[in-house]
Homo-oligomer: A and B are copies of this chain.
Amino acid sequence: MSVTRPVGFRAAGVAAGIKEGGARDVALVVADEPAAVAAMFTVNRAAAAPVTISRAHVAAGPTGRAVVVNSGCANAGTGERGLAAAEAMAAAVADAVGCEPTDVVVCSTGPIGTYLPEDRIAEGIRSAAAVLGDDEASGVAAAEAIMTTDTVPKTTVVVGDGFVVGGMAKGAGMVRPDMATMLAVLTTDAVVDPEVLDEALRTAVDRSFHALDIDGCASTNDTVAVLASGGSGIRPDPVEFIGALTAACVHLEEQLAADAEGASRVVVIEVTGAPDDATAREAGRAMADSALVRSAFYGGDPNWGRLLGALGASPVEFDPTRFSVWFAGVQVAADGEPVAYDETALLEVLAGGNFDVRVDLGAGTAAVPVITTDLTPDYVRFNGERS
């Protein structure tokens, strides 16, 4: 199931000829009545036109009616013409479902630096609006229509006490950003005030998508949006609602990591012993961003020197003589120096697939995991192909 599982939502995914090959490329998610809306957007300074437009639409009012997504073109690097094209998408949805353009969140994903085929998008939106459904097939069709290099659609359902959260996502944390922005659309039938929804989304994203760091890039188009219809009539405790929304985001995040293009394994770098969460996260990302660290992960090599070198080259303040490292639970460095361990046994474990790395900074009690993947020859080949 997907975004259609909570009460009060319909969805559709159609093929509008934007992607080559006839795959679905326009997705529409519509709330039957005005719904509380919240969204988070990329921090990329070169944000795409749909991000600029959607940011303004979400800021304009506490409720929304629809999220429209096209794949096959990011509408980024497209100037004023791109802004007009994103506005036109919102207007087309407004026409089709009977709301204001400002009630529509617009997302695009695909190559940067080409203009949207506006006629096809408009026709696709009309087609999608005509086949909106609240069944499972309609939700899955929408999840398929937002895919780019994804090999499978990503959907989630989390059932709370009297309410439901549904969702869909695409991309893999910028593994292939000119084709694979990270987008997620969440729906819920909980009764949630807009300010609580906004707070809940920020917390959920912080604990899920923000922990995912495949190659250190923030795309021009990243967007996470949530609509709350209130259709269940249940107003959950905010803490309970945050928990359910976080679980949905974590579930989607795990699917993104597992589907990262060209990756052969998922590695969780947990930074412990940090003075605070922000330092732990910055440290984890500095190591996860290193092509050398991730090449070592590819080789199943417990090369703690690369972790030390990557962190040392970052702005993170830490004491190299308190730096300790474990691969798959086996300590390989203590207080900045090598320790003896059973190398044969550890290499065998690391060769097996996914593994965890723990890095302790010896400077506090904060701990934050960062999820990444290995860097593989396939990644380079995929990203070296002309798109």
Binding site for B on A (CB under 8 A): 43-47, 74, 76-79, 81-82, 111-115, 174, 176-178, 215-220, 290-292, 295-296, 298-299, 301, 303-306, 308-314, 316-318, 320-321, 323, 333, 335-338, 347, 374-387
Contacts and interface: CB of A to CB of B under 8 A. Distances in A.
B45 A79 contact: no
A176 B309 CA distance: 11
B79 A337 contact: yes
A380 B295 contact: yes
Most buried by B among A78, A217, A220, A318: A217
Nearest to A382: B295
Given A81-B337, A335-B79, A308 B383 contact: no
A292 B217 contact: yes
Contact of A44 (B219, B312, B323): B312
Contacts of A379: 291, 295, 380
Most buried by B among A314, A317, A320: A320
A79 B46 contact: no
B312 A45 contact: yes
A304 B314 CA distance: 27
Total identical chains: 2
B384 A215 contact: no
A298 B309 CA distance: 26
Contacts of A216: 291, 313
B177 A309 contact: yes
A60 to B, nearest CB: 23
Given A45-B316, A291-B379, A301-B385, 18 more contacts: A43-B313, A45-B312, A45-B317, A46-B323, A47-B320, A76-B308, A78-B337, A82-B337, A111-B305, A112-B308, A113-B333, A177-B309, A217-B291, A218-B313, A291-B291, A295-B384, A377-B378, A379-B380
A334 to B, nearest CB: 10
A34 B308 CA distance: 36
A296 B77 contact: no
Contacts of A337: 77-79, 81-82, 113
Given A337-B81, A384-B295, A112 B220 contact: no
A305 B385 contact: no
Most buried by B among A220, A323, A384: A384
A375 B81 CA distance: 34
Top 8 closest pairs, chain A to chain B, by CB: A112-B305, A46-B312, A299-B384, A295-B383, A377-B377, A113-B305, A44-B312, A46-B320
Given A320-B46, A336-B77, A217 B309 contact: yes
Given A113-B304, A308-B77, A308-B112, A44 B335 contact: no
